[in-house]
Chains A and B, each alone.
Chain A
Amino acid sequence: MTRSLRNLPPAFWGLIAVGVLAAFTQPQFLSLPFLMILLRQAASIGIVALGQTFVVANRSLDLSVGANIAFVNLILAHAMWSGYHPFVAIVVALAAGTFIGFANGVLVTKLRASAVVVTLGTAAIITGIGFLYTGGAPGSSISDLVKWLGRGRVGIVPVAGLVWLGFAIAAFIIMRRLALGRFIYAAGDNPFAALFSGLPVDRTLLASHTLCGFFAASGGVLLSGLIGVGSINLGADYVLSSITAVILGGAVFGGGAGGAVGTVLGTALLVTVLNLLTVFGVGEPGKLIMQGLVIAAAAIIYQQGRRNG
């Protein structure tokens, strides 16, 4: 019992603490309509963070998710889709994002270069290509289908929240029910042991980077729908946010911990804290400081627990 309690991600306790704090200081914060607004806002970060979970659990990192989201937004907002069904634009955007992830995976596994440098490099390349493709202008409008995905509601529940749920279930199945998930955790915990045990370490890493690209692009579609217009530099802050959510969810570069549930809780905690700070009148700088403190605290607590356990 104590062991299963200790295995809960830091985000779980954080959410309880924040919930209690909100209940006493800002009761209207916990009302259902407001929580649904939070859910809509959290969905895109949540999906990107789920993608980041695959690579982090695999002892890698993707710093190109921000550029990936921006690129997806540029594709969706480009005027060239005016004659086509909006579905085509979404498929092309998702394909492009998935390809970015695949390219990251190929470079990381074949070149054996550090994932940090490789993904920084691909992020720069994607940003450049995006600018060249649009001529530096944020595109035109975004199709109604994408807007519905980002902003629409089914009853009271936002569509984006349902999409997030779908992605979370998919991520959970991949990580905890499929062989691929076993491989990801094994290769993340000890790459050499995994290799000597005959696991396809390289293909696993390639798969997790590709999945991360696909998830980031999907988050980009939702975010584009929420924003509703083409925008240069969309999603730049998602690199930090997605990593924060993953760390809060308990996954820290291998070690077999964390997963889809942890990351969902981590995203929920992150978005709740940031919004609560807004309610308390804290500005952007204060949020940056808070986010940094939260990352450091979660990482330190997690690390100490691992050493003792």
Chain B
Amino acid sequence: MIGKESHRSIAQRLQQDAFWFRQRGALLSFMILGLMLLFLSLFLGERFVSTTNIANLAGQLAPLFLVSLGQTFVLLGAGFDLSVGAVISLTTAILTLDFPDVFKLPLAIAAAVTVGLVNGVGCVYLRVHPIIMTLATSSIVQGVALILLPTPGGIAPQVLVTAASGTLFGLPAGFYWIIAAAALSIWVVHGTKYGVRLYATGENPQSAWINGINAPSIRISTYVISAMCAAIAGAYLTGRLASGDPNVGIALGLDSILGAALGGTLLSGGVGGPIGTIAGVLIIGLLNNGLNLANISPYYQFVFKGAMLIAAVSLFRRKEAGL
């Protein structure tokens, strides 16, 4: 007869097994990251391992961290969000409007939540394919951003400039944004009931629904989280640039998918997580940083990035081919 205690230990073991099964990609990403760190510090030495370079890296990578972590939620829920880049652009446009500062931040967050809700409702209740839905909203949101702020310019709220480009205890502000975002998303995914429901929904929405999980609202919530992360990234970028740029988000939209995919998060849902994404974003950052420091043509960055993306996704074979 199995006692109550051993039931619990079996459940715990199953949970641990599931955790490692889902994080198998992250393990590999961290190994690649370790090799890159070793390689870069050996070959570039002081140029790479210097406080200025690391501080610089943290400042540059913070926005990508924020959007990639948001994108990870959507991917875990078996969705896809191409609109994050446009939301970043919209946020910088709103934050540099000629408006009292007190209203701008709530307005930007409200705009992002609206975009997330529209994405979520379109994908979940109207059953439009996530790629099409978010492509459509991204086009609309980018258009709105360009109407609000036709050319780069405007003045960022002073609060954001301080929060994004100041230093605290000798570390750049971007570092704290990264730590906060990483800690919060790891806690939400691995430490709350929401995280358990998210994995269940991503793996199989029907079974999740049968087991009493409100899968539709979980899926919608992932789009809202992703849009809010994009808005925070937009706020950080606005502060760092101290002005607005309606096209600032375009490159980040695709890089967010790259960061999550390099970290072992599958695009089919339910596998991966924010821990891997941290490694994925760091790999992108170190690659760019290393190539810059080694004076290699920036054009190679495109080639390397693309090759790494394909290599990363090829490590996890799926049954089906296609989307």
Minimal beta-carbon separation of A179 from chain B (angstroms): 19
Q: Does B48 contact A (CB under 8 A)?
A: no
Residues B302 and A285 in contact, CB atoms below 8 Å apart: no
Q: Does A303 contact B (CB under 8 A)?
A: yes
* Residue numbers in B under 8 Å from A199 (CB-CB): none
Residues A292 and B147 in contact, CB atoms below 8 Å apart: no
Residues A125 and B303 in contact, CB atoms below 8 Å apart: yes
Q: Does B305 contact A (CB under 8 A)?
A: yes
A-B pairs under 8 A by CB, number? 167
Residues A121 and B307 in contact, CB atoms below 8 Å apart: yes
Residues B133 and A113 in contact, CB atoms below 8 Å apart: no
Known A-B contacts A116-B267, A288-B140, A293-B140; the reply to A129 vs B131 at CB < 8 A is: no
* Residue numbers in A under 8 Å from B310 (CB-CB): 107, 111, 113, 117-118, 121-122, 125
Residue-wise interface mask of A (169-210) relative to B, using a CB-CB cutoff of 8 A (1 in contact, 0 not): 000000000000000000000011000000001100100000
* Residue numbers in A under 8 Å from B147 (CB-CB): 285-286, 289
Minimal beta-carbon separation of A184 from chain B (angstroms): 11
The complex places the Cα of A305 from the Cα of B323 at a distance, in Å, of 23
- A104-148: which have CB < 8 Å to B? 107-109, 111-118, 120-129, 131-132, 136
- B285-305: which have CB < 8 Å to A? 297, 299-305
Interface centre among A202, A286, A288, A304 (most CB of B within 10 A): A288
Residues B301 and A128 in contact, CB atoms below 8 Å apart: yes
* Residue numbers in B under 8 Å from A131 (CB-CB): 299, 302
The complex places the Cα of A291 from the Cα of B320 at a distance, in Å, of 31
Q: Does B102 contact A (CB under 8 A)?
A: no
Minimal beta-carbon separation of A248 from chain B (angstroms): 11
Q: Does A153 contact B (CB under 8 A)?
A: no
Q: Does A60 contact B (CB under 8 A)?
A: yes
Q: Does A22 contact B (CB under 8 A)?
A: no
Residues A59 and B299 in contact, CB atoms below 8 Å apart: no
Q: Does B241 contact A (CB under 8 A)?
A: no
Q: Which stretch from B120-128, B170-178, B191-199, B212-220 is at the chain A interface?
A: B120-128
Residue-wise interface mask of B (96-122) relative to A, using a CB-CB cutoff of 8 A (1 in contact, 0 not): 000000000000000000000000001
Minimal beta-carbon separation of A33 from chain B (angstroms): 31
Q: Does A61 contact B (CB under 8 A)?
A: yes
* Residue numbers in B under 8 Å from A284 (CB-CB): 143, 146
Nearest to A123 among chain B residues (CB) is B306
* Residue numbers in B under 8 Å from A289 (CB-CB): 139-140, 143-144, 147
Residues A124 and B143 in contact, CB atoms below 8 Å apart: no
* Residue numbers in B under 8 Å from A303 (CB-CB): 126-128
* Residue numbers in A under 8 Å from B183 (CB-CB): none
* Residue numbers in B under 8 Å from A304 (CB-CB): 126
* Residue numbers in A under 8 Å from B307 (CB-CB): 121, 125
The complex places the Cα of A108 from the Cα of B300 at a distance, in Å, of 23
Interface residues on A, range: 35 or more
Residues B267 and A117 in contact, CB atoms below 8 Å apart: yes
The complex places the Cα of A125 from the Cα of B311 at a distance, in Å, of 12
Q: Which stretch from A3-11, A217-225, A263-271, A294-302 is at the chain B interface?
A: A294-302
Nearest to A107 among chain B residues (CB) is B310
Residues A191 and B306 in contact, CB atoms below 8 Å apart: no
Minimal beta-carbon separation of A230 from chain B (angstroms): 16
* Residue numbers in A under 8 Å from B26 (CB-CB): none
Known A-B contacts A124-B306, A128-B301; the reply to A113 vs B313 at CB < 8 A is: yes
Minimal beta-carbon separation of B139 from chain A (angstroms): 3
Residue-wise interface mask of B (118-161) relative to A, using a CB-CB cutoff of 8 A (1 in contact, 0 not): 00001000111101110111111111111100100000000000
Across the interface, A117 reaches (CB within 8 A) one of B150, B257, B319, namely: B257
Could you name 6 residue pairs across A and B whose Cβ atoms are closer than 8 Å?
A: A114-B313, A114-B323, A116-B323, A252-B129, A285-B150, A293-B136
Using CB atoms and an 8 Å cutoff, list the residues of chain B in contact with chain A: 80, 122, 126-129, 131-133, 135-147, 150, 254, 257-258, 261, 267-268, 297, 299-307, 309-310, 313-314, 316-323
Which 5 pairs from chain A and chain B are nearest by CB? A128-B302, A124-B306, A292-B139, A288-B143, A292-B140
Using CB atoms and an 8 Å cutoff, list the residues of chain A in contact with chain B: 58-61, 107-109, 111-118, 120-129, 131-132, 136, 191-192, 201-202, 205, 240, 243, 247, 252-253, 284-293, 295-296, 299-300, 303-304, 307
Q: Apart from A58-B322, A107-B310, A115-B321, what 15 extra A-B contacts exist at CB < 8 Å? A: A107-B314, A108-B321, A116-B257, A118-B310, A120-B258, A121-B305, A127-B302, A128-B304, A191-B320, A240-B135, A253-B323, A288-B139, A288-B140, A303-B128, A307-B127
